[in-house]
Amino acid sequence: MSEKPLNVAVVGLGSMGLGMARSLLRAGFDVSGCDLSESARSALADAGGRPEATPRLAARGVAAALIVVVNAAQTEAVLFGEDGVAASLAPGAVIISSATMAPGEAKRFAARAQAAGLLYLDAPISGGSGKAASGELTVMASGAPEAFSAARPLLDAIAARVHELGPDVGIGSSFKIVNQLLAGVHIAAACEAMTFAKSLDLDLARVFEVITQSAGTSWMFENRVPHILEGDYSPRSAVAIFTKDLGIVSDIGRGENFPLPIASAALQIFLATAAAGMARDDDASVARLYAQIAGLELPMPRKETA
Amino acid sequence: MSEKPLNVAVVGLGSMGLGMARSLLRAGFDVSGCDLSESARSALADAGGRPEATPRLAARGVAAALIVVVNAAQTEAVLFGEDGVAASLAPGAVIISSATMAPGEAKRFAARAQAAGLLYLDAPISGGSGKAASGELTVMASGAPEAFSAARPLLDAIAARVHELGPDVGIGSSFKIVNQLLAGVHIAAACEAMTFAKSLDLDLARVFEVITQSAGTSWMFENRVPHILEGDYSPRSAVAIFTKDLGIVSDIGRGENFPLPIASAALQIFLATAAAGMARDDDASVARLYAQIAGLELPMPRKETA
């Protein structure tokens, strides 16, 4: 990369945002950032970044803002609220928006950004906190060629793969939403199938082994069922992510008059799992809900010896 | 293989049974067989096998019967009906039962086989007609060690992989049922997601490319979505297979008082697709149902030039 690194503000320093900030720092970027959590701000400082109290302060005169908050409402607030980045970014700066949201929201934000003289890339991410930390996310992006050009050095630093999906904002968000529909259904199905197997007295480790070699497998089955087998529900990705994302899927379906019976069944199961007190636990907790209902014993975590 | 090949009777000469019969013939077995369809019987003769009019005639003095009919009721009829194989198999012969069925049915048939002095292997298969033809099926089998020993040369001829799942009949069927739950849900989800993507005006070929590289992918997504992209609904595996198999899943769930909301949603969608006249078409036809409902145009088959 021959260009001089841009300054970049990362707004939202959860496990995804912090991982991306660290990848940018490793790549030589000058990174400011902000988050409501003081410990997240400290973690950015520890990594060599510059924490600020508000998005507006973090983005002052900066050429790019990477927005990694959880939904459209938060994205709108950190972009266009009183303390938002739009008020302080350098003229012509690029906003890279990574929260999962309805494509219509992304279009609305892009129009406001354009009116403020800013570029906007609709750039949802996939891969989880591990890939965020290693700079190997997958980005599903759409936007004007100038937005892609401006964002390119940042994308190279955070992603192993950037799908360039077209010039229209909203396409990136649509692809992400389709992916989340499938991902959510597959997690719910994996949890339903594993607890059903338990109700049939099958050896769950053997079920995992056989299914992962059969036509019934999925990326999510292979990724999440080990959490069940290890009895480990510490959140790699939380139930609340899928009540949110399948909620967006459901909203879009209703908005488009498009029926989504499978995704709706999955949403209801995630809601039931959240209602049972597991919203912040790993999304494989859907299996614990079925087990609770049916009185099944799933594997317990291995005890660490002291 | 040093042993002299067994004679084997193959009952049910659909695309699966005929493929297995051909694999057995290639491996040097002497294969008799029967099917209600005269063209299926002719196909067996063309391949070098010996067609007979009834299961009983096909199994006369034979050491192994491979049962490849569609369900438990047909299995019971061809095993224990008036013209069934149990009346004519050699003493101590092995029955290899491959239809998908409830584990309780498999146990019942095994007990009847034992009472008749026969061995019984609960051996559902996975892999489709292509793998049946090439002798590379996956078999999920359980049964007594003597049944495995007797069946071993046949299994080696028809399968690339044999999961030996325990000594109790019913376990093989249970594994297959868990696989079918996942497979059915994943097909329905793939069809829902692809038509939803179409309703969002996305490029479906691009959706396939991106999803297969993302966390939303599944074996079934990768296998069935090309049928949608090619507009080709000739049955590699028919909708009716999944109304049947998810029906068995549903029956077992009710029998065990185990709730299966995701599998139930998928079953209803397959039933709707069958009700709309597509029971015998490829199971990717679920996408055509959504498209019909929502007035979407899916890809049409490429016209062959004359």
| Beta strands B137-141 and B125-126, pairing class | antiparallel
Report residue A128's pLDDT band, with 50, 70 and 90 as the boundaries: confident
pLDDT at site B83: 97
Burial class (CB within 10 angstroms; exposed 0-12, middle 13-18, buried 19+) of B236: middle
Phi, psi of A244 (to 5 degrees): -70, -55
Contact B178, A216 (CB under 8 A): yes
Report residue A72's pLDDT band, with 50, 70 and 90 as the boundaries: very high
Phi, psi of B43 (to 5 degrees): -65, -35
CATH 1.10.1040.10 range(s) for chain B read 173-294
The tens digit of pLDDT for each residue in A58-71 reads 999 999 999 999 99
Contact A102, A252 (CB under 8 A): yes
The H-or-E segment that residue B282 falls in is: none
List b or e across A62-82, with b for residues whose CB sees 16 or more CB atoms inside 10 angstroms: bbbbbbbbbbbebbbebbeee
Alpha carbon of A234: minimum distance to chain B alpha carbons (Å): 19
Q: Is the pLDDT of residue A100 over 70?
A: yes
Report residue B12's pLDDT band, with 50, 70 and 90 as the boundaries: very high
CATH code 3.40.50.720 for A7-168: yes
Q: Is the pLDDT of residue B172 over 50?
A: yes
User: For domain B7-169, which architecture applies?
Assistant: 3-Layer(aba) Sandwich (3.40)
Interface of B with A in 171-200 (CB under 8 A): 171, 174-175, 177-183, 185-186, 188-190, 192-193, 195-197, 199-200
pLDDT at site A135: 96
pLDDT at site A306: 45
Interface of A with B in 142-171 (CB under 8 A): 161, 163, 165, 171
Place of tokens 């010996």: B50
pLDDT at site B304: 58
pLDDT at site B186: 98
Structure tokens at B160: 């690339």
What SS3 state is found at B260?
A: coil
Catalytic center residues of A = 176
Structure tokens at A106: 């992304």
CA distance linking residue B273 with residue B285, whole number of Å: 7
Interface of B with A in 32-71 (CB under 8 A): none
| Nearest Cα residue in chain A from B272 | A261
Phi, psi of A64 (to 5 degrees): -155, 140
- Report how far apart, in Å, the C-alpha atoms of A110 and of each of A114, A119, A144, A220, B117 are: 6, 8, 10, 32, 75
Indicate the residue type of B270: F
CA distance linking residue A44 with residue B180, whole number of Å: 47
| Nearest Cα residue in chain B from A210 | B163
CA distance linking residue A188 with residue A183, whole number of Å: 9
Q: Which of A23-27, A164-168, B124-128 has the lowest mean pLDDT?
A: B124-128
Taking one residue from A and the other from B, the number of pairs with CB-CB distance under 8 angstroms is 203
Contact B74, B48 (CB under 8 A): no
**Helix, strand, coil fractions of chain A, as percent rounded to 5:** 55, 15, 30
The tens digit of pLDDT for each residue in A194-220 reads 999 999 999 999 999 999 999 999 999
The tens digit of pLDDT for each residue in A10-49 reads 999 999 999 999 999 999 999 999 999 999 999 999 999 9
Q: Is B221 on the interface with A (CB under 8 A)?
A: yes
The tens digit of pLDDT for each residue in B23-81 reads 999 999 999 999 999 999 999 999 999 999 999 999 999 999 999 999 999 999 999 99
**Domain B173-294 in CATH: superfamily?**
N-(1-d-carboxylethyl)-l-norvaline Dehydrogenase; domain 2 (1.10.1040.10)
pLDDT at site A175: 98
Q: Is A295 on the interface with B (CB under 8 A)?
A: no
Residues A202, B174: C-beta atoms closer than 8 Å: yes
pLDDT at site B162: 97
Q: Is the pLDDT of residue A303 over 90?
A: no
Q: What percent of chain A has pLDDT over 90?
A: 94
Residues B192, A262: C-beta atoms closer than 8 Å: yes
Q: Is the pLDDT of residue B99 over 60?
A: yes
Structure tokens at B7: 């004679």
Which residues does A296 contact at the CB level (< 8 Å), separation at least 6?
A: A195, A198, A199, A290
Chain B residues with beta carbon closer than 8 angstroms to that of A199? 256, 258
CATH 3.40.50.720 range(s) for chain A read 7-168
Q: Is the pLDDT of residue B2 over 60?
A: no
| Beta strands A125-126 and A137-141, pairing class | antiparallel
CB nearest to B192's CB, from A161, A257, A260: A260
pLDDT at site B5: 53
| Nearest Cα residue in chain A from B262 | A265
Strand partners, B94: B64, B119
Place of tokens 């699966």: B16
The tens digit of pLDDT for each residue in B132-145 reads 999 999 999 999 99
